[in-house]
Amino acid sequence: MNPRRARRFPRSALTGLFLVVLALAPHPSWSQSDDSPNDISSPSEEVAPSTSANETSPNVSRVEVPAPSDLAVRFYRTGNAWWIFNLLWSFVVPLVILGSGLSVRLRDLAKRWTGGSWYLVVLVYFGLYLTLVSVIDLPFAYLLGFARPHAYGLSNQLLSKWIVDMLKGFGIGLLAAALFLWIPYLLLRRSPRRWWFYTSLAAIPLFLFVLLVTPLWIAPLFNDFGPMQDKALERRILDLAERSQVSAERVFEVDKSVDTKAVNAYVTGFAGSKRIVLWDTLLDRLSDDEVLFVMGHELGHYVLGHVRESILISSLGVFVLLFCLHRASEFVFRRWGNRLQIHSLADPAALPLIIILLNLGGLVASPASLAYSRWHEHEADRFALELTQDNAHGAQAFVALQTSNLSFPYPGPVFELFRSSHPPIGRRVEFCNEYRPWESGVKLRYGDRFLP
């Protein structure tokens, strides 16, 4: 359930001017996965939440929020430490490249290699920068993306798959730059005062394009997508989709078990590529009724148009972000331009400055954008409850998520403000226990959005 992101793209590419579009592309999923994976423990523990169901009267049983295991507490605490480190690191690296004069030297090198054609200089500079930062980040990418999930029993991904995926992400970053980086740089050259406005305008169709092609061309480079394997469960899932007037060819199963033991599902795409994707790990670990609740949640995102709405808000956000970037860069160049030997954002050597300012803007905007995401998630939970009226299995699905993904049920306020794209899982369990307006005859908020 949250607007994120192609997690496999290299961080440096994500923060590049073009790829900010990718980073903002909405991608509502079932669970928070920024800190990633999780799972668990033994198979018997995984099944435990489902078996605790009161099968005879599921709608009156209350599901308790389990206390986090010692492992989950450690995962939460070390995750917070890594988050702070990463945040600082995302500023320190470009700052050092900019302040040390390395950026200017890379730009001069690119000029010598290309003979000075402005766009080739931009491309070669970007390639050099991306390579440099990817190499610098490699140890941390390995620790966070591979070693850590393995250490917590959350992944059985092969090292070869991790390496190949990383190289693919790097290649996609370069290709995307070659295809689209000319847009902001051309606008910067043609209209130094209004480039931010025109670039924001150009970002809207680009957003839609990225959202259209990612499920069709990009995601299949990393995993296999197909129809559901379990045909009996598929029938029940498609019945639920039918009630929500979502057609069957929009539902996919993906083989995430090659990458992680965590469970999740998400809605993505635009127009012809709009789809609901269920991870095979989710189908494997949750009971059928719990999976149906998760499907109800995803249908909520789909039917309530959350992806579309996020695109609209993100597009407006880009105008504000680029305007702030424009004004802040003018200040920096006035103050330190001579010392940096950079006087305009059109100079490719200014890329680290763009990245620093985008990171800063993203950080400042994150409490608002995350609160917005949490609201979408809460409404999708409400939709799922109204559609299935299966409170117990909804609550159990979240308990299974908590144990499977080593989630911390009630994170602290700073975590929630800056990191939570989803409501705390403990509160989601509580909401599932409590929300039952149909029992008192109160009108359902989304009752007109699905067939009875």
Contacts with Zn ion by CB under 5 A lie at 1, 28, 377, 380
Cβ proximity to Zn ion, 31 vs 103, nearer residue: 31
Which residue, 254 or 380, is less far from Zn ion as judged by CB? 380
Nearer to Zn ion, 26 or 409 (CB): 26
Query: Is the Cβ of residue 1 or residue 325 nearer to Zn ion in the bound state?
Result: 1
CB of 28 to Zn ion, least distance (A): 4
Identify which of 434, 422, 409 has the alpha carbon closest to the alpha carbon of residue 65.
409
> For Zn ion, which is the closer residue by CB, 28 or 184?
28
Identity of the residue, 1 or 218, whose beta carbon is nearer to Zn ion in the bound complex? 1
Q: Are 166 and 221 in contact (CB under 8 A)?
A: no
Q: How far is the CB of 440 from Zn ion (least distance, A)?
A: 27
Question: Based on CB atoms, which residue is closest to Zn ion, 165 or 381?
Answer: 381
What gap in Å lies between CA 275 and CA 267, rounded to an integer? 6
CB-nearer residue toward Zn ion: 22 or 380: 380
Residue 376 to residues 35, 274, 341, 416: CA-CA distances in angstroms? Answer: 20, 18, 45, 15
Q: Minimum distance between the CB of residue 377 and Zn ion, rounded to whole angstroms? A: 5
Please, what is the minimum distance in Å from the beta carbon of residue 27 to Zn ion? 10
Angle, vertex CA 108, rays to CA 107 and CA 112, nearest 5:
120
Helix/strand/coil (H, E, C) string of the chain? CCCCCCCCCCHHHHCCCCCHHHHHCCCCECCCCCCCCCCCCCHHHHHHHHHCCCCCCCCCCCCCCCCCCHHHHHHHHHHHHHHHHHHHHHHHHHHHHHHCCHHHHHHHHHHHHHCCCHHHHHHHHHHHHHHHHHHHHHHHHHHHHHHHHHHCCCCCCCHHHHHHHHHHHHHHHHHHHHHHCHHHHHHHHHCCCCHHHHHHHHHHHHHHHHHHHHHHHHHHHCCCEECCCCHHHHHHHHHHHHHCCCCHHHEEEECHHHCCCCCCEEEECCHHHCEEEEEHHHHHHCCHHHHHHHHHHHHHHHHCCHHHHHHHHHHHHHHHHHHHHHHHHHHHHHHHHHHHCCCCCCCHHHHHHHHHHHHHHHHHHHHHHHHHHHHHHHHHHHHHHHHHCCHHHHHHHHHHHHHHCCCCCCCCHHHHHHHCCCCCHHHHHHHHHHCCHHHHCCCCCCHHHCCC
Q: How far is the CB of 379 from Zn ion (least distance, A)?
A: 9
Q: How far is the CB of 298 from Zn ion (least distance, A)?
A: 7
The whole-angstrom separation of Cα 44 and Cα 233 is 22
Name the closest residue to Zn ion (Cβ).
1
Smallest gap from Cβ 1 to Zn ion, in A, equals 2
1 vs 98, beta carbon nearer Zn ion: 1
> Based on CB atoms, which residue is closest to Zn ion, 253 or 377?
377
Minimum gap (Å) between residue 301 Cβ and Zn ion = 5
CB of 378 to Zn ion, least distance (A): 9
Taking the least distance from each CB to Zn ion, the nearer of 291 and 380 is 380
CB of 300 to Zn ion, least distance (A): 8
Nearer to Zn ion, 28 or 94 (CB): 28
> Which residues have a Cβ under 8 Å from the Cβ of 49 and sit 6 or more positions away?
396, 399, 400, 403
The distance of closest approach from Cβ of residue 308 to Zn ion in the complex, given in angstroms and rounded to an integer, is 15
122, 348 Cβ separation under 8 angstroms: yes
| Shortest distance in whole angstroms from residue 349 CB to Zn ion | 41
Question: What is the number of other CB atoms lying within 10 angstroms of the CB of residue 194?
Answer: 11
